[in-house]
């Protein structure tokens, strides 16, 4: 197992992941951080609310992708590759939501200790 230092919503977290998954986890954290910044939109949200809204934005993207995936199948190879990429992206978003949920739990535990 490897420890990865992540920066999300102006805070640093150390998260453990399987060996070889460090780059992927860092990439997911960058996406979550982008959504957290988008969610804050310049307002002074608390960290937990910022992460909540980031999770909601990501979940919204997943639902949109799922709705698009249920449309009739396209037959050209280029469009099939696009569908494969969408499914891969959807899986990445699900992974990010799991990470956000774990981070949110950790934030809640830490804030209750303050």
Across the chain, mean pLDDT equals: 81
pLDDT tens digits along 65-89: 876 666 655 555 555 666 766 776 7
pLDDT tens digits along 47-71: 888 888 888 888 888 888 876 666 6
pLDDT tens digits along 14-38: 999 999 999 999 999 999 898 888 8
pLDDT of residue 10: 84
Token representation of residue 92? 């990445």
Alpha carbons within 13 angstroms on the beta-carbon side of residue 47 total 18
Average pLDDT over residues 97-107: 82
pLDDT of residue 14: 92
- Going by C-alpha positions, the residue among 111, 113, 114, 99 that lies closest to residue 51 is 99
């Amino acid at each position: 197992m490897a420890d990865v230092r992540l920066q999300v919503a102006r805070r640093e977290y150390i998260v453990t992941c399987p060996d070889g998954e460090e780059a992927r986890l860092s990439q997911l954290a960058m996406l979550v951080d982008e959504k957290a910044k988008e969610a804050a939109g310049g307002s002074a949200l608390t960290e937990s609310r910022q992460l909540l809204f980031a999770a909601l934005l990501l979940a919204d993207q997943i639902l949109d992708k799922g709705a698009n995936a249920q449309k009739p199948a396209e037959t050209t190879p280029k469009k099939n590759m696009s569908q494969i990429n969408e499914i891969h992206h959807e899986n990445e978003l699900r992974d990010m939501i799991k990470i956000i949920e774990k981070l949110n739990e950790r934030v809640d535990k830490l804030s209750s200790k303050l």
